Amino acid sequence: MKFNIEKREISILTTLVHRAAASRTTIPILSGLHINLSREQGLTMTATDMEIGIKASTLNVDIIEEGSVLVNANYFADFIKLLPDSLITFELNPNTSKLVIGYGRSASRLNIFQETEYPDLPIGKMETLFSIPQNILREGLRKTSFATATSHFRQVFTGVLFDYLGEGTLRIVASDTHRMGYYVYALEGQEQEPVKFVIPMRTVNELMRFLEDSSEEINIAISENNVIFYKDKFVLLSRLIEGQYPNYETVIPATFITDLTIKTSILAASLGRAKLMPTDDKFQIQHVQFAIKEEEVELTSNSETMGEICEVIDEINIEGEKGIKIAFNTNYFLDAVKMFESECEDILIRISGPLSPALIKNKEKENYLYILVPMRTNN
């Protein structure tokens, strides 16, 4: 195997793929990055830890001799980043079982793994479900995935649900049972059978690194207990989270008693200051209390060790019942408001009761909403 390639080209490919390799494993080859060279496919890199796998390729390579090699993924990626911005040469020396990397008058000789048992990604029998613009998938994941649980005894809450209704409608949902992000998109002309699956947050993070802010579509397929996201010269495969996702629709309130329309930037600033209030033995979870009055909302946050914050928001429109007090987790509330701050001047908060879930949305868009469950406090 022998080829020449610009440092920038191989660095982009390596950075994209190598993170799928295992960092800690009892199977050494799973910590490897498989490099394959063919005149038809160009340079193809693959990495997998059997939970997630990434394959990407490029034709921007000067192929002198076809072949393949398996190297340590993390070391190779770190090394490539530090090479000079110039043409890099790669040659496998079969006598020494080393990959020789040449850059200018310098060279490095890397040890390699035996690649005979390296697993290929199980994509041969995949069933394509639908296609979706990359910018839409990126937006849907960005607006929901932050609501997942970092850990939960029901593992489905640590992932993001894809609920394809079979009538051209896709819902992307994430929840940790205290909050929920809900995103809907209409897939035109794609009426397949209904299907649900839950992808891990690690898969979401890797997807977000790859997805572009463009209307170019990416395909989504299923193969056994794996989901596959693929487009030209790129494949990401991930194991699905097993388990039944609860009926999330029942969490969305059907009726409301009070609607608040608030300047998003003003609410974000108030919550940001409230977040500075430390937790203590009495208030172990940061929270803010909303007191809805006739023409204003009073936002308060307390700490035995630090004191109290009390802010009045009078740039607000209140419709419905007044005299209501409701408390929210400060961080959860601020996460949502920051999400809306980048897209709308005003935010709509719909209250269904002092201890019932609240709905937060952009009044100008119907395809995304955020549900926040109030906290029970002594006040």
Q: What is the pLDDT of residue 280?
A: 72
**Residues 216, 230: Cα–Cα separation, whole Å:** 12
**Residue 67 CB-half CA count within 13 A:** 13
> Left, alpha or beta for 172 (phi > 0: left; psi -120 to 50: alpha)?
beta
Mention every residue, 6+ apart, whose C-beta is less than 8 A from residue 227.
Answer: 162, 197, 199, 203, 220, 221, 237, 238, 240
Q: Which two tokens stand for residue 52?
A: 């997630």
Say if residues 171 and 209 touch (Cβ distance below 8 Å). no
Asked if 88 contacts 31 with a C-beta cutoff of 8 angstroms, the reply is no
CA distance linking residue 183 with residue 164, whole number of Å: 12
3-state secondary structure the chain: CEEEEEHHHHHHHHHHHHHHCCCCCCCHHHHEEEEEEECCCEEEEEEECCCEEEEEEECCCEEEECEEEEEEHHHHHHHHHCCCCCEEEEEEECCCCEEEEEECCEEEEEECECCCCCCCCCCCCCEEEEEEEHHHHHHHHHCCHHHCCCCCCCHHHHEEEEEECCCCEEEEEEECCCEEEEEEEECCCCCCCCEEEEEEHHHHHHHHHHCCCCCCEEEEEEECCEEEEEECCEEEEEECCCCCCCCHHHHCCCCCCEEEEEEHHHHHHHHHHHHCCCCCCCCCCCEEEEEECCCCEEEEEEECCCEEEEEEECCEEEEECCCEEEEEEHHHHHHHHHHHHCCCCEEEEEECCCCCCEEEECCCCCCEEEEECCECCCC
**Number of CB atoms found within 10 A of residue 119's CB:** 13
Query: Given this model, what pLDDT does residue 379 score?
Result: 59
pLDDT one-digit tens code per residue, 232-273: 999 999 999 999 999 999 999 999 999 999 999 999 999 999
Q: How far apart are CA 137 and CA 116, in angstroms?
A: 37
Q: What is the pLDDT of residue 124?
A: 84
Ordered structural domains, the chain, with CATH = 2-111 (3.10.150.10), 130-249 (3.10.150.10), 252-372 (3.10.150.10)
Closest to 270 (Cα-Cα) out of 302, 248, 299, 295: 299
Per-residue pLDDT at 24 = 83
What integer pLDDT is reported at residue 191 of this predicted model?
Answer: 73
CA gap 159, 173 in Å, rounded = 9
The label of the residue with tokens 């009070």 reads 258
CA distance 321 to 88: 69
CA-CA distance, 150 to 20, in Å (whole number)? Answer: 20
In this prediction, residue 282 carries a pLDDT of: 66
- Terminal C-alpha separation, the chain: 71
Q: Tens-digit pLDDT profile for the chain (379 aa)?
A: 999 999 999 999 999 999 999 988 788 999 999 999 999 999 999 999 999 999 999 999 999 999 999 999 999 999 999 999 999 999 999 899 999 999 999 999 999 999 888 998 988 889 999 999 999 999 999 999 999 999 999 999 999 999 999 888 999 999 999 999 999 999 987 777 899 999 999 999 999 999 999 999 999 999 989 999 999 999 999 999 999 999 999 999 999 999 999 999 999 999 999 999 888 766 678 899 999 999 999 999 988 888 899 999 999 999 999 999 999 999 999 999 999 998 999 999 999 999 999 999 999 999 999 999 999 876 5
Q: Rounded distance, CA 77 to CA 96, Å?
A: 22
Find the helix packing angle between 73-81 and 7-17, rounded to 10°.
140
Q: Which of 101, 91, 117 is nearest to 32 (CA)?
A: 117
- pLDDT score of 19: 95
Full-model pTM: 0.93
